[in-house]
Chain A
Amino acid sequence: MTAQVLKPEEYFITEEPYYEPVGNEIEVFEAAWDNQLPVLLKGPTGCGKTRFMEHMAWRLKRPLITVSCHDDLTASDLVGRFLIRGGETVWVDGPLSRAVRAGGICYLDEIVEARKDTTVVIHPLADDRRVLPMEKLGELLEAGDDFCMAISYNPGYQSVLKDLKQSTRQRFVALEFDYPSPELEAKIIVRESGIEPPLAEQLVKFAQMTRNLKGSGLEEGASTRLLVHAAKLVKSGIDPVAACRSSIAQALTDDEEMLAAVNELSASVF
């Protein structure tokens, strides 16, 4: 495959991204989209939120513009800013403005990580006004019917600071994500990595064990993403226990005792 340069708002996903629906999330999302309602995806990391968005973008035939939020992300980073080109100032759209103009789906991943001032620009977009104020330009950008905003948020972080404000939360249709049921999760692993189903089931069983430890030694249990990683290693010929050790246990904790316990658990499953 040769690399080619594409602007995200011009990039349409043509091949169906594999996504295994866990409940009625696809229907709900479609309904929200039909009604121009913004969507909030809640759930732990690695449970398929990003994949779901890709799938929906494909389904709705809209470009997907993803912004991973971090603590330096400001409103200007989203909306846009002036740049100087050839001695002239030129305005350059930020990803959010581009998504609005292109009628795409803007997905703000881990929204709570962003600066507080970013909420100021997403609020008017997220309610029935559906406009993006572009203060620097002195303009309001009105969203078309195709534009859709989705944000994600992991309620698992215990911090008060990392909580989503009510005023934000209440503008969105919330979709709750969790790890898929054991059968589904095994199916996903098989599909993503190509390993044999029994092995996938054992991986899921091991994941369950680590999820039992959430709150008593582990902050989070193993996510679907980590299981897929481990499965891929196994597929390339790594022993399952070793694969779990390096792709799961090490990712979950640095604590010696917990590492030992998690490794004992994986050793007991295979």
Chain B
Amino acid sequence: MVQLPTVAASEVRCARIDTPLGDYELLDFGGGRRLERWGPWLVERPDVHATGAPRDANWSADWVFLRELGAGGHWEPTRSGLPSRWEASLGGERVHCRLGSDGRVGVEARDLLIGRWLRERIEGCYDLDEIRVLNLFAGNGYVSSQALAAGATVVHVDADAAMIELARSHCGDEQVEFVRENVMDYVEDLLRRQQRFDMIVLPVPPLGHGPRGQLWDREVDLPRLVRHLPRLVSDDCLGIWLSTDGGAITWKAESLGQLLREVLPGHTIEPLQLEVASVDGRVLPAGVAARWFDDTEFLQTGGQPLTAAQLEERLDAHMISIGAAEGPARALADHPRETQDFVLRCAAMVARTSSGMAFNFVAHVCGALRLMDEAGVEAWLLHCMDVYDTRGLHPAVAAFKEVEGFARSYRARQTGVAFEDVAGVLEAFVHGLNGRRLKLEAGEHPYTDSETIFLPPTLSRFEGRDANFQLYKAMVVHQWAQTWFGTWRLDVAAAVDRYADSERALACFHGLETLRLDACIERQLPGIHRQMRPLRAATDAGMDQRWRLAAAQLGRPGATVDDSLGLLDSVLDAPLPEPAAYQGVLRPQEVARVRKARIDADRQRFRMVLMKLKQELRPDEDAGAPESEQQEADGGLPFRLKKVEAQDSVDGFAFEIELDGRPVPAPGNVRSVMASILQDLGDIPEEYLHAAGDGAYFAGDTGERSAEDVWKGTYHEEGAFLYNEWDYERQNYRKNWAVVREMDVHPSYDHFVDRTLHKYRGLAMELRRTFEALRGEDRLLKKQPYGDDVDIDALVEALADARHGEEMSERLFTKLHKLERDIAVMFMVDMSGSTKGWINDAEREALALLCESLETLGDRYAIYGFSGMTRKRCEIYRVKRFDEPYDETVRARISGIRPRDYTRMGATIRHLGGLLNEVEARTRLLVTLSDGKPDDYDAYRGAYGIEDTRMALIEAKRSGIHPFCITIDTEARDYLSHMYGAVNYAVIDEVRKLPLKVSDIYRRLTS
């Protein structure tokens, strides 16, 4: 799980209202009571925060609020004739003062702070059409009126009728909707209606009651309410204010902050201690709050660059330790605001994955910005994130530090060509050339080990992309030519070792070989030779006489590598010509190692394939039978090799295999081994047909495990599949991110299917009838213009018509119309923990009925369940494979489907989509049965999971699969249409209808 940085107590700042403020003053407090002036009147009321002694012992309030046990309290005038409602001015605005039954008058300090923040956020913003504010536990209307004044529309929710009345008098009726409801119920209603807001204000009370007595208990309900917030905020949400009166130990500012961060990570969280200062400067606490907002919002500060301090404050939100961002913030302060915002945005994005990564990013970003444009910096960051995903933090930190190298190749890529971008074409190109299949890989210098060609990651030697691509191609051809025209049939390492200066000898040898190979290429691939010639212009221009002589000799058709070696002495002392641009280097030791391993393996493989061939050709002579010939007795094979002419081999000949003096057709694997041996040795030694001693030993495949090595040491990956996952924030895939494993559902032999069929016997029968009608049966079409048989009825009719002198119809035939169903369907069944109970039962029943229907239809189908926990444990449970019959075991597995953990849908779709694509069918359907959104224990929830799932579905669609989702999440419509497209899902509103509906939906889908 991604570890979110916790909101620390040290981050808490104070937000204070200083009095006097207009007509309002906090005059004194202490002993559990406070004395204030609202306009002309003094009021005294209880306050738990008012600890210590008051400044003045004798207060002379006009109104005093007295608590009564169990019944709140009441206001007592100290004189007669006092008003209980009046108005006061608060620095320019009027507020209604009313003696509330809760002991409140006017507005609370908290309301003032909320009001200020709302105005600040909303007024600075002009790019949202209509800003909607949700004010929960809204109270007297002051906050709502502030939002209205700033230009927003407000939904004002409060349970108390009198409060709503008061608020209405504050705000009027324009642009505001007053809702008298229990907050919890109302919020759930909003979710159902998919309402979202640009700002949300929640000054939550410790306890409260809804209009019908529903209890609000902060300790229980607050976390629940906060968890709904992600689905209430709009995409450009300006902020959330969450506050509560202090007093409870559980609710400190930082714990409110933490609550918000957990559900809505990635934005700035500001924990606040609220307070009011009295006229004599003493501070009275007024509750705690946490604000959540995106402070990279450019408009909020009018485009002015942020100061180092502002930057640090913003960056701190993403750091593990306070103070870490100081240096980077200082450096960043010199950049224009756009750049600062870009960095802040990136930092927030990285912080979602790791705050350590975020730190490293900001630490190096200014350096990166000096070297590259923003697109480059972003590419660099994504590169580092990839490294982090696949190899962990330390290599990623190294990648951050290597920004210069990255910038160099980035710049090169702008003008030049990146290996990655052309690898596909080059690889196909080199596969088209003759000989052993060569792999291509990026490496520092161009060279080959005789199986892989290494090429520089980027080429920018020339101006245009095309010229650089041609250079790549020339490099590939040169390296290929070494393997095809026999450079490595010589033990080059040993040959040059005989020279005192073996390095120079190697360089000369390479020069000579290049001359020879280029001549070969000219003869065999004149087109490519023409393209390569300019790349060796410098070589040809300044060539010494001795080199020219050598070139003439090596240019002759029969020249071999031995001729190059023979000429080495003659050019050793002559000045070395400029190497050709595509020449690269020779690594004789590496070739020797790879080549030796291959020769050994080929020898073994050759014997293996011949042994198999023998068994095929003479099946009666099995292992125990007496050997007929002497050579077979000592392990030899009864084959002979015969040289035959072959134009497409480099030596002009190949081998045919003879058995008993007659040529036998060699299967593909035999031919390819022979070709490989021939390419290495120029011959197939006779001894290859004889015993090699350890005939049973086979040098099997090695390598090819890089994907699995990714997690080596931290996680056991044996037998797992790795899939990429889409990170919408990065707009990029996380490589090999989800680890998927297939396992069998544990069968449960309890006649569940039989019982289900019995339970729904009426329905089952009806389904069978409908599906039978759908089966790929012949239908006799009558009155066809042509067909297989005469339609006697039509004919009689037509003849009668003709008698009457009418025109005779030509539609006189019957025709058999074949409805061939060619459908393969994969059912993907949610086995997450949330399906526990009813839903699981319904799913299993649905499957039981469905299988019955599918068997009637004859469509090919498979059923897999899915669940798992975190990306490292995505589990896919086999219920029925495509090639499995619907038998007792499958029925027992259906019964054995049990709810498990979470739903990481993307990986499942990728895996099952792959399986589905292996099936040959005209139509491929992937049907998901689910109870809700993609969700996993780690960050795979909310938008991330939905977006990955959507991407997986898009991939599936591209590969020709039709995805469809059947769900019982009634709130599913908003995200389902986003994931599946508007018509590719069905929502079933009652669980018990699932078994009835699924077969029906399938029928409609496929007919």
Chain A residues engaging chain B, CB cutoff 8 angstroms: 74, 76, 81-82, 84, 87, 89, 115, 136, 159-161, 181-183, 205, 208-210, 212-213, 216-217, 241, 257-258, 260-262, 264-270
Contacts and interface: CB of A to CB of B under 8 A. Distances in A.
A12 B933 CA distance: 71
B788 A209 contact: no
B647 interface: yes
Interface stretch (B455-463, B523-531, B561-569, B864-872): B523-531
Contact of B526 (A89, A182, A216, A269): A269
Contact of B432 (A74, A136, A160, A212): A212
Of the candidates A74, A205, A209, A265, the one having the most CB atoms from chain B within 10 angstroms of its own CB is A265
B920 A160 contact: yes
B527 A270 contact: yes
Contacts of B427: 261
Given A84-B795, A136-B789, A257 B428 contact: yes
Contact of B802 (A81, A87, A183, A209): A87
Contacts of B528: 267-268
A216 B428 contact: yes
Contact of A183 (B433, B524, B647, B920): B647
A87 B796 CA distance: 10
Contact of B425 (A89, A208, A261): A261
B527 A269 contact: yes
Contacts of A181: 647
Interface in B521-551: 524-528, 531
Contacts of A182: 647-648
16 contacts: A84-B812, A181-B647, A182-B648, A205-B648, A213-B431, A217-B428, A261-B425, A261-B427, A261-B429, A262-B432, A264-B429, A265-B432, A265-B433, A267-B528, A269-B527, A270-B526
Given A76-B788, A115-B818, A182-B648, A212 B431 contact: yes
Contact of B920 (A159, A213, A266, A269): A159
B431 A217 contact: yes
Given A74-B788, A161-B920, A182-B648, A265 B808 contact: no
Contact of A265 (B429, B526, B795): B429
B424 A257 contact: yes
B790 interface: yes
Contacts of B789: 81-82, 136
Nearest to A136: B789
A268 B434 contact: no
Interface string B413-431: 0000000000011111101
A241 B818 contact: no
B880 interface: no
A258 B428 CA distance: 7
Contacts of A183: 647
A209 B437 CA distance: 12
B527 A268 contact: yes
Given A115-B818, A159-B920, A182-B647, A84 B525 contact: no
B284 interface: no
A269 B527 CA distance: 5
A210 B647 contact: no
A233 B524 CA distance: 23
B943 interface: no
A81 B788 contact: yes
B431 A208 contact: no
Of the candidates A205, A217, A257, the one having the most CB atoms from chain B within 10 angstroms of its own CB is A257
Contacts of A210: 432
A213 B429 CA distance: 9
Contact of B527 (A81, A262, A267): A267
A257 B425 contact: yes
The 5 closest A-B pairs by CB, nearest first: A261-B428, A268-B528, A209-B432, A257-B424, A268-B527
B477 interface: yes
Of the candidates A183, A212, A267, the one having the most CB atoms from chain B within 10 angstroms of its own CB is A212
A212 B433 CA distance: 7
Interface residues of B, number: 35
Nearest to A81: B788
B741 interface: no
Contacts of B810: 84
B473 interface: yes
B799 interface: yes
A182 B429 CA distance: 21
Contacts of A257: 424-425, 428
Given A84-B790, A216-B431, 10 more contacts: A159-B920, A182-B647, A182-B648, A183-B647, A208-B648, A212-B434, A216-B428, A217-B428, A261-B429, A270-B526
A264 B425 contact: yes
B69 to A, nearest CB: 83
Contacts of B426: 261
Contacts of A269: 525-527
Contact of A89 (B524, B531, B790, B920): B790
B428 A213 contact: yes
A213 B432 contact: yes
Contacts of A208: 434, 648
A261 B788 contact: no
Contacts of B432: 209-210, 212-213, 261-262, 265
Contacts of A213: 428, 431-432
A142 B901 CA distance: 70
A87 B808 contact: yes
A260 B790 CA distance: 55
A182 B649 CA distance: 12
Contacts of A82: 789-790
Contacts of B424: 257, 261
Nearest to B921: A161
B682 to A, nearest CB: 21
Nearest to A71: B820
A209 B433 contact: yes
Contact of A241 (B527, B787, B795): B527
Nearest to A159: B920
Contacts of A212: 431-434
Nearest to A253: B428
Interface in B680-736: none
A115 to B, nearest CB: 7
A161 B920 CA distance: 8
A104 to B, nearest CB: 24
Contacts of A115: 818
A159 B178 CA distance: 66
Contacts of A258: 428
Of the candidates A183, A261, A264, A265, the one having the most CB atoms from chain B within 10 angstroms of its own CB is A264
A166 to B, nearest CB: 18
Interface in B78-123: none
A260 B425 contact: yes
A257 B420 CA distance: 13
A213 B430 CA distance: 9
Contacts of B816: 74
A155 B795 CA distance: 45
A160 B824 CA distance: 14
A270 B525 CA distance: 7
Contacts of B428: 213, 216-217, 257-258, 261-262
B669 to A, nearest CB: 13
Nearest to A77: B788
Contacts of B434: 208-209, 212
Contacts of A261: 424-429, 432
A123 B287 CA distance: 93
A261 B430 CA distance: 9
A268 B477 contact: yes
B921 to A, nearest CB: 9
B626 to A, nearest CB: 33
A264 B818 CA distance: 46
A220 to B, nearest CB: 14
B666 to A, nearest CB: 13
Nearest to A186: B647
Nearest to B792: A89
Contacts of B788: 74, 76, 81, 136
